Amino acid sequence: MILFFTCLSAVLAPLAMAAVSDIMGGPKYGFLLATGFAALLFVGLLLNSIANPTARIFEQADRTDYSPLATVTGAE
C-alpha cells in the first residue's frame, strides 16, 4: 500500500507544481507549492517525533510477542 501512495505522489506532485505554475504564470509558484508540501511534511515529522504514537504498541509487542533468548525452549 505504501508503494501505491509513493507512486501516486511521484506523479501528482510534479503535476500539481506544473498546474500551479501555469495558472499563476511562473515556475516560482510551483516551487513555492513544493516548499509548502515539504514544510507540511516536516511539521508532521516533528509531531510524530514528539507524540510517538506507536511507542505503546511496540512496548506491548515487546512484552507479548518477543521473549528473551534465554527463555526460548532449547536455547542455552
Average pLDDT over residues 49-66: 88
The tens digit of pLDDT for each residue in 17-42 reads 999 999 999 999 999 999 999 999 99
The more confident residue out of 24 and 68 is 24
| HEC sequence for the chain | CHHHHHHHHHHHHHHHHHHHHHHHCCHHHHHHHHHHHHHHHHHHHHHHHHHCCCHHHHHHHHHHCCCCHHHCCCCC
pLDDT at 75: 52
**Where exactly are the structural domains of the chain?**
8-66
Q: Would you state the pLDDT for residue 18?
A: 96
Instruction: Indicate whether 70 pLDDT > 50.
Output: no
C-alpha cell at 44: 508532521
